[in-house]
């Protein structure tokens, strides 16, 4: 199937089912009513420990500017209208207002647990039919994602491979992650947010079509490894985090489903890791407070790394 057609149909409905994956559904270890997944691994102690990583006070905006020209999956669009209001009052006050009309899944974003399902079942056995409403999700909306303040880890996969940018469709898994982390002198721990630098963000301006359709990234084996470490979120400087090489078995978006559906781990897409990689900033305080739009499936975000 043509990737453009696949993405336009599969991602739009956000309820993909892959053959052979149904048996991997997991009940949340945090209870039958759990809806925040691995975010349960966040703690006040973890926040305090992460603040001790701040040595220079330098901040990094990990979010991209989202606009009309931001590369997006087929069918997604962005538009904004700015209008003025006339002078009023003795002091002749005036100004502008705006109205945003956009798909939320454009640019830097967080994927919530309502984004994808296996056999129409989301994280912790929650059925698509029980949460879907065209006016907003009844459950698992990203407005319920708690503030994520924790240790952030950046794994420079491009440097590990000795390149500026990973090759199209390239993938990496557990062995690569372990080797790159060891070379950087860091260890991934429970409650961490893990970001991968692949260099792929440079493709966004060079070839927007390729940026979407030929992404390198994490594979399913690597996703399972990270999930077993107890991480809270996983992201990369690509629009999907995972490699677009899905193999020949007909299993679609295995990384998304492993993280979101099976383990309750948030996916962070199009993260700007360029400056982190340049500074070799491998661990830092990660801070995210997402917009709280009621019933939203995804959230446009601008997380901050502080070191």
Measured between alpha carbons, how far is 271 from 62 in angstroms, rounded to an integer?
5
Counting Cβ atoms within 10 Å, is residue 96 exposed (0-12), middle (13-18) or buried (19+)? exposed
In a domain, 31, yes or no: yes
Indicate the helix (H) or strand (E) that contains 197: strand 193-197
CB 145 within 8 A of CB 290: yes
Measured between alpha carbons, how far is 142 from 294 in angstroms, rounded to an integer?
8
CATH number reported for the structural domain that contains residue 200 in this entry: 3.50.30.50
In a domain, 97, yes or no: no
Counting Cβ atoms within 10 Å, is residue 17 exposed (0-12), middle (13-18) or buried (19+)? middle
| pLDDT tens string 109-155 | 999 999 999 999 999 999 999 999 999 999 999 999 999 999 999 99
Q: Look at residue 216 in the predicted model and tell me its pLDDT.
A: 98
CB 194 within 8 A of CB 235: yes
Q: Domain residues for 11?
A: 3-75+104-306
In a domain, 54, yes or no: yes
Minimal CA–CA distance to 264: which of 47, 112, 149?
A: 112
In a domain, 95, yes or no: no
Give the total residue count for the chain.
Answer: 307
Minimal CA–CA distance to 233: which of 79, 60, 50, 40?
A: 40
In a domain, 92, yes or no: no
Q: Output phi, psi for 134, to 5 deg.
A: -60, -15
25 pLDDT band (50/70/90 cuts)? low
Measured between alpha carbons, how far is 139 from 141 in angstroms, rounded to an integer?
6
In a domain, 82, yes or no: no
Residue 20 has pLDDT above 60, yes or no: no
| pLDDT tens string 254-296 | 999 999 999 999 999 999 999 999 999 999 999 999 999 999 9
Query: What proportion of the chain, given as a percentage, has pLDDT over 70?
Result: 92
Domain count along the chain: 1
In a domain, 40, yes or no: yes
Contacts by residues 243-247 (CB-CB < 8 Å, ≥ 24 positions apart) = 243/169, 243/170, 243/171, 243/215, 243/216, 243/217, 243/218, 243/219, 244/3, 244/169, 244/213, 244/214, 244/215, 244/216, 244/217, 245/169, 245/171
Q: Look at residue 164 in the predicted model and tell me its pLDDT.
A: 98
| pLDDT tens string 205-229 | 999 999 999 999 999 999 999 999 9
Dihedral sign from CA coordinates of 7, 9, 15, 17: negative
């Amino acid at each position: 199937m043509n990737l453009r057609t696949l993405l336009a149909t599969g991602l739009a409905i956000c309820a993909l089912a892959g053959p052979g994956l149904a048996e991997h559904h997991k009940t949340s270890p945090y209870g039958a009513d759990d809806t925040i997944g691995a975010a349960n691994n966040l703690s006040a102690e973890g926040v305090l420990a992460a603040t001790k990583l701040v040595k220079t006070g330098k901040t990094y905006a990990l979010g991209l500017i989202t606009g009309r020209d931001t590369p997006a999956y087929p069918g997604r669009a962005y538009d904004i209208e700015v209008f003025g209001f006339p002078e009023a009052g003795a002091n002749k006050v005036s100004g502008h207002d705006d109205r945003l009309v956009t798909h939320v899944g454009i640019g830097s974003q967080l994927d919530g647990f309502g984004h994808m399902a296996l056999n129409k079942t989301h994280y912790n056995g929650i059925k698509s039919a029980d949460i879907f409403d065209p006016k907003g999700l009844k459950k698992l909306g990203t407005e319920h994602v708690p503030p994520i303040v924790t240790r952030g880890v950046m794994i420079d996969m491009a440097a590990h491979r000795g390149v500026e940018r990973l090759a199209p469709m390239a993938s990496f898994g557990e062995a690569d992650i372990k080797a790159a982390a060891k070379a950087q002198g860091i260890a991934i721990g429970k409650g961490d947010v893990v970001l991968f630098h692949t260099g792929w963000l440079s493709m966004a301006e060079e070839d927007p079509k390729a940026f979407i359709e030929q992404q390198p990234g994490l594979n399913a084996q690597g996703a399972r490894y990270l999930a077993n470490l107890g991480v809270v979120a996983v992201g990369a400087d690509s629009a999907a985090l995972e490699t677009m090489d899905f193999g020949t078995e007909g299993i679609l978006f295995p990384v998304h489903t492993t993280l979101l559906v099976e383990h309750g781990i948030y996916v962070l897409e199009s993260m700007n890791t360029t400056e982190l990689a340049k500074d070799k900033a491998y661990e830092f305080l990660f801070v995210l407070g997402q917009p709280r739009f009621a019933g939203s499936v995804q959230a446009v975000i601008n997380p901050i790394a502080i070191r």
